[in-house]
Structure formats: C-alpha cells, structure tokens
Amino acid sequence: MIFIDGPELSRRLVPAALIHALREGFRNMPAVPMRQRIDVGEGRELLLMPAIGREFAGVKLLTITPDNPSLGAPAVQGLYALFDVRSGKPVATMDADELTGRRTAALSALAADALARPDARHLLLIGSGHLITFMAEAHASVRAYSRITLWARDRERAMQAGQMLSRRLGRTVNVASSVSAAIAEADVICAATRATEPIIRGEWVRPGTHIDLVGGYRPDMREADDDAVRRGHLFVDSRPACLAEAGDIIAPIRSQAITADDIRGDIGDLARGARRTSAADITIFKAVGTAAADLFAAELAWNQGK
C-alpha cells in the first residue's frame, strides 16, 4: 500500500483530467450513503464519507478545525483510503485535504462549463480560505476569463489571497472593496466560505449570471439569500444530501421561496448534457460534497501512477 501526498496529488489531478474523469463517472451516478458528521464541539467536526464503485471502494476521513488557520495550520485535514473491490485489499492512502480541494473545484468547474454562458469573461471569487486556489484554477480551465476578482470579509486576508492567486495564475487578480458592486459586474460568482448569513443577494445579481455555492455544508450555513435562490435555475451535486444538509436549499424551502421541485437536476444530469436554456438565465449550482466525487478523483490519482 502506498501513500500519495498532497504535492503528488496536485501533479496527478490536473483540472482538465479531473473534470473529464468526474464527467465520465457521473454519467452513471452511483448511489452513495449520506456522510456521517460528528460534532466534537467548538466548531470542530469529524466527517466520514464512504463510496463504492465497480473496481474500487473508498472512505474519506476529515477533521474540520475552524481555528487552525489563525495558528498556521489547515482548517481541513484528513486521509482517504482506497480499496480494490475484488480482493478487498487497501491499495493506497491519500492526502484528503488536497483530494477534497481538487475534486470540489473540478465538480464546480464541470457545472460551470454546463451552466455559465459561453461568453462569460468575469469571474468573482468570494472567500479567502484554502478552497479559493483550487476554485480559481479549475474555473479558469473551462472559460477564458479576461477578469478575475476576489472579495472576502477580512480585507487583509483578501489582499493576501489576491496576491497569492496572482502569482499562482500568472495574471492579476483584483481585490474588490464592495461585494455588491463586484456581484453586479460578475458573469460567474464562486463562493467558498463558511458564512452563516447570506453574502450574495438576489437584488445584486444581473441576468445571465452563474452562481457557484460550495462553502456551506450544514443547515446553518448560507451564502445566498432567498431571493437569489428563487431567481435562479437550481442544480445540485446530490439532491438527497442538499435537501438534508444545505442551508442554501433548506432555508428557502422553509420560507416557501422555493420548493424541492425547483431543483432542476443534479451533477449526473449536467454530466449527461443538461445546459442553461437561455442567455438571460440566472443559474445556480449548490454542492455540499459527495463521496462519489472523492472516489472518482482517487481512482484517477491511482491510475495516473501506473
């Protein structure tokens, strides 16, 4: 059994190859059990996410420690274990932080490739956490953005993230001072935060915008308000998971802004060819994380090493 660390995963899971692997995998979307989330207090959590396919099975173990970034450590840490289904043999363990970041971003980029306008040129990134780098690289692989902007609540962290992304992408990433103005100008909005109060308001979103909501994974977390969700053509990564865990879906259903029937499709539908129906549509992709995506990414990482 081998261990595949973060730097090696970054070499094996380049956005284009990973997006392709996810698209192929989700065309026949496997059923996966709901993840188990254990609250260990003070915002700290342990997540367990198993999945099984035809050739491989895997389980991801994640710890979430919100205070870690202030101490210079990652907020999300963990391990992924990959097993050969036929023999039952564990074949690899992998760095779960890198795996999670890359598969989350690739899944969002797959959705944006289907739902964002072909002529989308302005990408707005909301947040300054560990996911932002992955999101920027993956989204930039599916659209030719001429402008990339970042906004975060903490101005100092936003500036640091903007400088880091500029170096990483080899182009200027501007830091916005006004979230409302940035949202009003964006073609694609990618939010990757731990917000519990909406940041994206429907009144700020112009027709034709695609909104990507990936930060919230609990019922008490929200990145978009009821009006934004009501105005949007809504797709999700997993319908059962989002109805059970996503505050961006649960809250507007409770307020009767939308119903569960307003969810137009899931990632499987997008992988099989679902697209936006009009240039004026506001489209939304909400993800809480699915263990199937972890498995597809882990399979790709394993196969890339052969």
Looking at residue 88, which CATH number applies to its domain?
3.30.1780.10
Q: Assess whether 280 and 180 both reside in one domain.
A: yes
What are the structure tokens assigned to 85, written together?
Answer: 């289904």
Q: 40 φ, ψ to 5°?
A: -105, 15
Task: Report strand pairing: 90-95 vs 210-213.
Answer: unpaired
Residues 60-87 pLDDT 10s: 999 989 888 888 888 888 999 999 999 9
* Token code pair at residue 223: 């990145």
Write out the two tokens for 87. 């023999």
Predicted pLDDT at 40: 86
Model confidence at 174, pLDDT cuts 50, 70, 90, reads: very high
Same domain, 247 and 220: yes
Residues 47 and 172 in one domain: no
- Residue 203 belongs to domain with CATH number: 3.40.50.720
* Whether 296 and 286 share a structural domain: no
Question: How confident is the model at residue 17, as a pLDDT?
Answer: 97
Residue 275: domain span? 108-290
Residues 129 and 47 in one domain: no
Residues 242 and 298 in one domain: no
Say if residue 11 is in the same domain as residue 127: no
Q: For 7-19, how does the pLDDT look when each residue is reduced to its tens digit (9 = 90+)?
A: 999 999 999 999 9
For residues 228 and 159, membership in a common domain is answered with yes
Q: 142 with 229, same domain?
A: yes
Q: How confident is the model over 237-292, as pLDDT tens digits?
A: 999 999 999 999 999 999 999 999 999 999 999 999 999 999 999 999 999 999 99
User: Domain count of the chain?
Assistant: 2
170 and 268 co-located in one domain? yes
Is residue 182's pLDDT more than 90? yes
- Do residues 148 and 187 both lie within one domain? yes
| Confidence class for position 141, pLDDT limits 50, 70, 90 | very high
Q: Indicate if 156 and 251 belong to the same structural domain.
A: yes
Residue 189, strand partner residues? 124, 211
